[in-house]
Amino acid sequence: MQPDGVAIRNGAHVFSLRVYYEDTDSGGVVYYANYLRYAERARTEMLRAVGFDHGGLSAQYGILFAVRRCEADFRRPARLDDALQVRTCNLEFSGAGLWADQTILRGDDVLVGLRVQLACIGQDGRPARLPGALRAALAPLAAPPAH
């Protein structure tokens, strides 16, 4: 079951949130690092939406995810009480991880664009194969094939 504010539609996972006072600086603008927190929450809820969670992945498959690379394009600020959405899509799979495009929006306005590379690692910290069941569950969010 998906929590309130979470949906998968049109090849994207959509996570809704609101900007709280604790997320902002003294001017009421979201502190830049909090966008990374929003993106992390969205990826966690994306896993839940397809039937997985971090604890289960660790217990059943012995894997964890670590951010290997993140590129962020900050375009416009979010402010106190804004309703935001984080869209996650265009997943690209490798043997031991994946890439994801994440966009943080306020309505139709793009605030931040993120390109995140996640490494799948074993509990020993070494690269591990992405489980086939997880790859299959995330397939509806995969990048369209190149022409």
Q: What is the phi-psi region of residue 43: left when phi exceeds 0, alpha when psi lies from -120 to 50, beta otherwise?
A: alpha
Residue 110 has pLDDT above 80, yes or no: yes
For the question of residue 25 being annotated catalytic, the response is yes
Query: Domains in the chain, start-ordered, CATH in brackets?
Result: 6-139 (3.10.129.10)
One-letter amino acid for residue 146 of the chain: A
pLDDT at 98: 96
Both structure tokens of 53? 């969670």
pLDDT digits (tens, 9 = 90+) for 19-49: 999 999 999 999 999 999 999 999 999 999 9
**DSSP secondary structure string for all residues of 84-127:** EEEEEEEEEEETTEEEEEEEEEETTEEEEEEEEEEEEEETTSSB
pLDDT category at 4 given cuts 50, 70, 90 is: low
Contact at 8 Å (CB) between 25 and 112?
A: no
25, 53, 73, 109: the catalytic one is: 25
